[in-house]
Structure 1
Amino acid sequence: MGAVTGLPDLLRDCAPQVLAAVVRRYGDFEACEDAVQEALIAAFRQWQQTGVPEHPRNWLIAVASRRRVELLRNETARRRREEAVRLEPVPQVRGDDELALLLLCCHPALSVPAQVTLTLRAVGGLTTAEIARALLLPEATVSQRISRAKQRIRDTGGQFERPAPGELGERLTAVRHVLYLTFNEGYTASSGDALNRVELTREAIRLTRQLHRRLPDDGEVAGLLALMLLTDARRPSRTGPDGALVPLAEQDRRRWDADAIAEGVAIITHTLARAPIGPYQLQAAIAAVHDEAARAEDTDWPQILALYGMLHALAPSPMVTLNRIVARAMVDGPEAGLAALHRIAEDPLMARHHRTAAVRAHLLELAGDRAGAQEYYRLAARLTLSRPEQRYLQTRAAQLASDLRASGPLAGVGCRRPGHVEEDWPR
């Protein structure tokens, strides 16, 4: 018996492998998931008293399999099959089980919210309560979402197996997207009191790392892992002692995670040299340029602008457009950025987004228009649901208001220290 240390982490690491083995053997995702959850509960209770067995995964698979057989006994239509299942050997873990489970959770019949929730539960090993806290949803809502997702997989005939070669690319695209969304929501929560939800970023990185090990030649999986590492490396300095947002230009870079940066840079450097370029790789390259600058003023903005140009051509989106405008302003001056922002102002998707108002405020401040910047900082604060972002934007507006009162007739001339919008946010 081993010592009981880090028991929750051990169970969480074992959970997806155990579930994958049981689903592969018995089918019926929903029933197998219930059986595995019961096995995990039993293990948590028993191992605290007896210690961790020598082969914890095998123990969990055996208990979950017995529970699955018990469930079969209650299904009258399967009584003949029950005896055969009971006598068959316990299934073993296979190397590609977790990949197959990821692909099943990202079944194209599911909506993106359902894919995210089911992935966190089945592959990430998070409990319903943990997912609810992470996504700021009622626990009942998460429970219903999981149940409906499993029902949908069953109704559409989803199987625990790798898709046909012609479907694998589409499924992998969905898997990468789900992991990307999960990381984004953890790194910059879209609402609530906390800027970060560490459990989500940690889980997204763990799952992406596993996916990278299974598919080392997939350049976009590698790019996604590098992007997460390079972005999450800044987390220690993104908030102050009071939880307030600290923008990129003002962060203490000595607190960044040097090991994560080194790993991320190594991954993206290797990948760009051998794989077809994709959007995640370009975002990782942008993050690497930021992370390798010892000071904010050392940032290679022309290189970032060029990378955003490539990203815009390959995978245009509103956030890419905004970040590219910020990079343009840092290279050619705030007036150039404001002119570019004016050209996209009619887009309804952009007009009511808080980031659009925040970028405009930032550029107006750089240009010396304190009154205009104050107005748009306040607008951005009203539009965002994230309270740390609201506090930061309101603070910037208040500082500018103070400057205007102190400056009197010279209020529109010059600028103290401009607020800086984090132009490399992945979302």
Structure 2
Amino acid sequence: MRREAAPLRAESPRRPALDRGRSLLGPALQLVHTGQAPTRSALTGALDVTRATAGAVTAELEALGLITVDSRPAGGGRGRPSHRLAVAEDGPVVIAAQIHADGISASLAGLGGQLVEPVHLPLPTATDPVRLLRAVAETGAALARDARRRCLGIGLALPNPVTEPDGTALAALHFGWPSGTPVADLFAAEVRRADHGPRARTELPSAVANDANLAALAEHRHGAGRDSRHLLLVTSGHRGVGGALVIDGRLHTGSAGLALEVGHVTVDPQGRLCPCGNRGCLNSETDPDALFAAAGLRPDPALPLLGQARELAAADTPQARAAVEHVVDRLGLGLAGLVNILNPDRIVLSGLHLDLLAAAPERLAAVVADRCLWGRSGRVPIVPAQVRHAGLVGAAELAWQPYLADPQAVTAA
């Protein structure tokens, strides 16, 4: 993944406002994109510039079709009323796509973390890397062809580790892909093959990343992780467990993009067998399959697994409550270990873990606090995720990143 925009720098008083503002276009767009600058006054303060420079920056972003500047002043407050800023509702879009263990999702996404209603499709019969990635690329291309807005790129969230910067997939346990599959290159080739229609950028940039990393990015920019400096996200989707850490606005991905494989933290050495070959991993002890196993039940193979697990977690029966308590205890052990190592200031739970938190919030918090090195006085807030389809929203962030860094790149052919 590309790095975030460089830290904001004070303007030079010796250059015209527009020239000074060009280096601030990216930071300014990101502030509007994440809702941190709803007015020109707020943008002026966040960038630490004059009104003239802020006006030049917003005018340039508006001319690029990325934001709107409403001259009607925002109400309230002291001093001169300020213009409203918002992302352009008719501005360009990117394609966001996600591969799940049992399906494909895709959507168009404008700035501001807003998705057009996603489409969800079953996996193709053949799930080898080329044919599965081709199905994703073609699904996204169909959305771009039908859109009336210009398409600038595509981002893909994958349910397995992805190395940086080469973009190879490791331990693709769901599909049996060879370790080291060059997924970024294969996906780029399929995107080039697809017909995105006349309104799309000619050379459509593509990028891939781990779904948990992208969900954490989405929550930090648009959801429950806002204002957190050390955000830990832990999630369980259709199968398995993922995690990610955002530090001061940037994903911590390690030396090769493989950090925070939290699913393989051991929470029960005698527990269920994990696809990685070990026993009792968080991955195999706190996902939907684990909840059904704890309840002594089997899910209906004809129905989505995650939806059934959520219904079970919310069920008010002794059998369901006992299963929830069993899985919550395992989840709490894993979270406590992560807290001791990472010292986050907030934990966001999503997927099935969000439902487990709702079903037993006090029990989960107590297990974490009891096992945490700092005890109850060091309790870390554990909060539910807020972003719907966070993996897709994060994939959109991935696709938007080149333009958040350099908004003028939207003018490329």
Q: Please, what TM-score do these two structures have when normalized by structure 1? A: 0.24
Q: Please, what TM-score do these two structures have when normalized by structure 2? A: 0.25
Larger radius of gyration: 1
